[in-house]
Each structure stands twice: as C-alpha cells, then as structure tokens.
Amino acid sequence: MFQSFDVTARPEQGPPRLLALRAELTQEGLNGFLVPRADAHQGEYVAPRDERLSWLTGFTGSAGFCAVLENCAGVFIDGRYRTQVKRQVADLFTPVPWPEVGLGSWLKEQLPQGGKIGFDPWLHATAQITALTQELQGTGIALVQCDNLIDRIWQDQPEPPMMPVQPHPLDYAGEAAAQKCERLAQGLSQAGHQAALITLPDSIMWLLNIRGADIARNPVAHGFAILHSDARVDLFMAPEKLQQLSDHLPSTVTCHPPSAFLQALETLTGAIAVDCASLPQIVADRLGDQLVDAGDPCALPKARKNAAEIAGSAAAHLRDGAAVVELLSWLDAQPVGSLTEIDVAKRLEELRRRDPALRDISFETISGTGENGAVMHYRVTEESNSRLQAGQLLVLDSGGQYLDGTTDITRTIAIGTPGAEECAAFTRVLQGMIAMSCLRWPKGLAGRDIEAVGRMPLWLAGQDFNHGLGHGVGAYLSVHEGPQRLSRVSTVPLEPGMILSNEPGYYREGAFGIRIENLLVVEQAPALATSDPDRDMLCWRGLTYAPIDRRLILGNMLTSAERDWLNAYHSETAVKLRPYVSVAAQSWLDDVTKPI
C-alpha cells in the first residue's frame, strides 16, 4: 500500500516557512517564486514529495498555486475551493479568485516596476509559461528558471515514491499493449511525426497495460515515455519499480532510468508530437523547433473505453453500489447524533474492502455534514470532524479502485428531519441530474454544449454551483480523466465509450451542501420513429446504482416524467443490487426504493 505522509502546513508553520523561502529569494536575486500544485508529470494528484503547495500554505485542494513575492503571497484558487482556502491558509497568505484574476495581471499590480519571478521548469507546463510570458511582455517582469526553492528549505521532504508496477490483465484492458502501440504509431506516421512524448502517468499506464502505486488512490507510476512512429517505446522509469513485470512488456519497449530522459531527447529527429498543456518547460527547451503541439496521443483512445473496459466498469459499479447500500442501511439504523463524519467514512471504506477486487479507494472520501457539506472538496480531519446532528444533511462523495473499474458516487443523506429549504434545493439538484441522464444529443457536441441541461432547474430558481457538471473517469485509472468533461470550457466532442460523471450540486456557505452523482457511459442512441435518417444521436447508459434519499424529495416539484424516471431507477437499483447485499440490507433497500 501507499505510504502516507502528513505534509500539510499547520497555521503556525506558515510564517517561518514563508520567511525561509523569502530568504532564498534574496539569495537568488529574485522578487518572487511560483509554487504550483503540480509535479513534473502535470497530473491532478501528486505524491507527498511533491506536495509543495500544501507544505508551504496549508491548502490541500487538488488545483491551485501560490505566487510568493517579497511583501505578499497570493494563493490562487478556483470556485471549488473558495470556502476551503479560507479555513486552511494562515492570514499572511492572500486568497486570489482564479481564473477571474490571472497571474499575469496580479503580478503587474504587485510589481509595477518590474522584477524577476523564479520558477522550476520541471513543474510548469510550456503552455503556462508561454501564455504568462506573453502577458508580461513590456512590463519589465521577467520569468527566470531556477532550482526549486521549496526543496531547498523542506528539510524532511519525503523521498520519491518507488512502489512496484503490476501488469494489468488483458481480460480487463481489452486490447494488448503491442496493439495499442501499433495503432497509435500509425497515427503518428500519418501525421508526419517521428515520435510522441508521453508525460502523463495514466497515459503510460493505459498504453502499456500496467498499473502502479506511486500516488495514493491512483494506480499510476511516475515515468516518461517516447512512442516512436515505428511503434517502439522508450520507457523512462526507475528500474526498482519494474521488477515484477517479467515478460509482460512488449519486446518493442526498452526501459531506461529517468535520468536518461533529457539526454534521450537529443537523439530525436524530425517533428515530435507533444501536449503543451502537460509538457514540462525544461523538455520544451530541449526540443526547440522540433516540438509540435499535437496533444497526448493516448488521451482520446484511453477515453473511448472498449467493450471489456465498459463491462468491467459496470460490474464494479454493482459491487460498489452494494457497499453503498450496506452503508446507508447501517447509517439509518444508528441513533441520530451517535456518529461523526469520520465514523461514516471509515465504515464505508471497511465495506468496500470486503471486495477482493478492490485495490484502494479512488480518492479521499468526502464526508461532510452541516456547513462542512458546503465545502465542495471537503476533507475531514480530526480537528474538523463533526457529529451528525438532527436536521443536517450529509454529503458523502466516495469511490473505489477495483481491478475491473473505477467508481465515483455521491449521495446526500438527511439526518433526522430535513428543512424545507434543503428539500427544495435537493429536488432541483435531482431534477438537473435526471435531465442530463435522459438527454439525447447530436453526435459532435462537446460537454460545453450540453452541460447547461443539468443546471437549468437551479438556474430557474436563481441558483448555481461552482464546479463542472461532470468529469471523465478512467478504467481502473484516474477518477478524474480527461479530455472529456461536462464543463463550460470543454470543447472535446463526446464519443461512444466515454465515461463521465453527472453531478449537479448546491452549496450554501455556512449552512449545508448538496450533491448527487452517478456515472454514465456514452452510447449510440437507438433510432426513434421521429428520428432524422441521416442524423446520428448519442445518449447515456447509467453505470451507478444506489438509492437517492426520498426524504429530501418534494414530490410536488417533480414532473410526471421525472417521477417516472426516479421510480424506474429505484426499481432497477433494487433488482440489480439485491443479490449482492445482506438480508438486512435487502429489507432496507426494498423499502427505500418504493415508488413515490
């Protein structure tokens, strides 16, 4: 299992750490230094060694960065973390609403006379640096590559993870690694590219049908890869990680230590395909004019799940849904006020771990009651742990990493008798979730074209939420997988085989939170009697099955179609999950899935 480290700065640690960093600024002749959340691979989640942002500021969100100047330090966070950052960072750090306030404009305001801003070229993607450089032109503010100044002052920084890599069986992968390499290499050759650089760990795992454990809750291993147009692969990964693979890797894969990666770039000729959104700036500097921003060649093929991956995900969701049912039935049997948020999270993890196919939970369980539920990515701690009290709502967002699939489910649960305002908001969120679940749309549309459907009931009430409606999900890989999203900024067309979440919510800061989440897979929509003969349509097939709390639903707000959908969903949930749950849970399941 992954070794756990607590690297988050406590409020009292912020001032001395910031003082030490500013001393390094003076020594280097810099006016500022950028501290990103990212590691060299630009994934969403990082190992303890790379938790530099959390170590310095105390902020534990999965997106954001800090710009430390001589007289101020801004922590840039998006709408998901506005409430969380207030709780976590010391007063000497200033939360900055991002992307409403861009880093470039903030630097211009803070450094009107110009200055030098240091950054570690391994930790910033070339697209970020290019955009920031253009924005700062003419200001006298210069970006300067330098050593990582956090690493200099972090005396007990954890070592790099060295967990073993495991083969991912063909029965679950659905396609041999050699075939994947051949298929993608053909695309490179047709585009006139001699090779492609792959920096995202989940892409390497998918391409070579392997899984790692370098990052908690994510079955990935750190490394880099070069896919050549003749289907050869150079894999740059610590040899200690690869000892259990024996003959699993194709003969066309050559393994090298990570230290050989930069030198190997110098041997490449011709056009090299890269994804500038994830390529470290130091690598871009080595490639120069050879660089072609063509995107990650694994991204779309990985997103389009094959039949084996979809079948595995569906099977995993049934077993996972059974664990959720066992938890919810147990929770309903406990006296109100007897449990805490941690009690619920631990119990759910225990129930999931009864499944021998479970390898880990898929992210840190969000178990937030009352005002904690309004923190979208709330992470319960011993200090914040709250007791479940009558009249409150519990937001329970969780998932599992199974050998055959990755799950992610959110249910909002009434503790005691809920209030009228909470029920009205919950019903609107449910209506949005149902609307998206029922949607049919023309082939070629992207997430930005349809995500408003899931927000409409809230919009009509003058309400909204500050996170995307849905994210892509991997097949025993990252629980947040691109490039597909249900988001206002996503331009990637949705295609059959893509798995996404459908998770509208509502959050009243200081009071309560609501979120309902199911996973869906894109399918070709069956033709209707009224269908245009020449128009391809897509639709969803549900993967997630677990009851939705009827105590929070105002039936008079639902249309007849919405009521029919809910009753059909609950009926199917009872049928599908009954064989997997205990006798006591069966009785509870039958009761809570009765028609409304």
Residue 145: is its pLDDT beyond 50?
yes
pLDDT-derived band at 5 (thresholds 50, 70, 90) equals low
The residue among 401, 435, 395 whose CA lies nearest residue 516 is 395
pLDDT band at 89 (very low <50, low <70, confident <90, very high): confident
- Residue 566 pLDDT more than 60? yes
Q: Could you give the CA distance from residue 391 to residue 409 in angstroms, rounded to a whole number?
A: 23
Same domain, 99 and 56: yes
Alpha helix (H) residue ranges in 166-306: 170-173, 177-191, 201-208, 261-265, 281-287, 299-303
Mean pLDDT of 509-531: 96
For the segment 289-306, the average pLDDT, to the nearest whole number, is: 97
Question: Could you give the angle at which helices 341-352 and 307-333 cross, rounded to 10 degrees?
Answer: 140
Q: What is the mean predicted confidence (pLDDT) over 416-442?
A: 98
Instruction: Specify the 3-state DSSP secondary structure of 558.
Output: coil
**For the ranges 43-57, 151-165, 420-434, 444-458, which has the lowest average pLDDT?**
43-57
C-alpha torsion 469→474→478→481, nearest 10: -40
Same domain, 100 and 197: no
Read off the DSSP letter of residue 108.
Answer: H
Task: With cut-offs at 50, 70 and 90, classify the pLDDT of residue 138.
Answer: very high
Residue 77: is its pLDDT beyond 60?
yes
Token pair for residue 273? 């395909």
Residues 402 and 509 in one domain: yes
User: Do 146 and 32 belong together in one domain?
Assistant: yes
Q: How far apart are CA 201 and CA 178, in angstroms?
A: 18
Check residue 83 and give its pLDDT.
72
Instruction: Please tell me the predicted confidence (pLDDT) of residue 2.
Output: 38
Confidence band for 377, pLDDT divided at 50, 70 and 90: confident
Instruction: Say which residue, 446 or 100, is predicted with more confidence.
Output: 446
Q: Are 454 and 484 within one domain? A: yes
pLDDT at 6: 63
Task: Give residue 15's pLDDT.
Answer: 84
Q: Are 297 and 407 within one domain?
A: no
Residue 105 lies in a domain: yes
Claim to verify: residue 131 and residue 197 sit in the same structural domain: no
pLDDT of residue 45: 87
> Is residue 416 over pLDDT 80?
yes
Kindly state the percentage of the chain with pLDDT values over 70.
Answer: 98
Q: Which of 70-79, 266-275, 296-305, 342-351 has the lowest mean pLDDT?
A: 70-79
* Token pair in block for residue 258: 């990570």
Give the model's confidence band at 311: pLDDT under 50 very low, under 70 low, under 90 confident, else very high: very high
* pLDDT, mean of residues 514-542: 96
Q: Is the pLDDT of residue 411 over 50?
A: yes
CATH code for the domain of 392: 3.90.230.10
What is the arithmetic mean of pLDDT over 124-147?
Answer: 96
What is the rounded average pLDDT of the residues 466-481? 97
Secondary structure of residue 56 in the 3-state scheme: helix
Q: What is the DSSP letter of 452?
A: G
Is 4 part of a structural domain of the chain?
no
Mean pLDDT value of segment 190-215: 97
* Residues 264 and 319 grouped into a single domain: no
289 beta partners: none
| DSSP states of 311-333 | HHHHHHHHHHHHHHHHHHHHHHH
If one compares 64 and 181, the residue with the highest pLDDT of the two is 181
What's the total number of domains in the chain? Answer: 3
Answer yes or no: do 282 and 355 share one domain.
no
H or E element: which one contains 488? none
Identity of the highest mean pLDDT range in 5-9, 167-171, 373-377: 167-171
In this structure, are 445 and 455 located in the same domain? yes
The predicted pLDDT at position 425 comes to 98
**Residue 161 located in a structural domain:** no
Question: Residue 314 domain-assigned?
Answer: yes
Instruction: Give a yes or no: residue 521 inside a domain.
Output: yes
Q: Is the pLDDT of residue 1 over 50?
A: no
Would you say residue 158 lies in a domain? no
Strand partners, 500: 472, 520
Residues in the chain: 596
Q: Where among 129, 153, 177 does a domain terminate? A: 153
pLDDT digits (tens, 9 = 90+) for 348-362: 999 999 999 999 999
Average pLDDT over residues 469-476: 98
In a domain, 1, yes or no: no
Residue that is written with structure tokens 């609307």 in the block: 435
pLDDT of 435 strictly over 90: yes
| The one-letter amino acid at 524 | Q
pLDDT greater than 80 at residue 80: no
Nearest Cα to Cα of residue 290 among 279, 298, 301: 279
Q: What is the mean pLDDT of the chain?
A: 95
> Domain end: 271, 302, 333, which one?
302
Domain that holds residue 412: 304-592
CA separation for the pair 218, 203 (Å, rounded): 13
| Same-domain pairing of 148 and 171 | no
Tell me what pLDDT residue 62 has. Answer: 74
Give the domain CATH number at 249.
3.40.350.10
Average pLDDT over residues 388-410: 98
112 has pLDDT over 90: no
CA separation, residue 581 to residues 320, 345, 568 (Å): 11, 19, 20
Domain-located, residue 160: no
More confident residue, 479 or 95: 479
How far apart (Å, rounded) are the C-alpha atoms in residues 8 and 500?
A: 31
CA distance 380 to 399: 16
Domain boundary among 153, 185, 206: 153
Confidence of residue 90 (pLDDT cuts 50, 70, 90): low
In a shared domain, residues 41 and 73 = yes
